[in-house]
Amino acid sequence: MLSSKPEFDLDTGTINISQHLKIPVSRSSSHATEIMSLTNVYHLRRVADTAAKSCLICYKPSTSVLITPENKDFFYVCPAHLQDRHFCTPIIDTEGEAKRQKEEAMAKEIENVKKEYEEKQRRKKEKAKDENDKEKDDSKEKDKDTSNSKSDEKERDDKDFLSNAD
Model confidence pLDDT, tens digit, residues 61-120: 999 999 888 888 889 999 888 888 888 888 777 888 899 999 999 999 999 999 999 999
The predicted pLDDT at position 52 comes to 92
* Cβ-Cβ contacts under 8 Å for 43 (sequence gap 6 or more): 66, 67, 68, 69
More confident residue, 106 or 41: 106
For residue 2, is pLDDT > 80?
Answer: no
Domain boundaries, the chain: 1-37, 39-91, 93-166
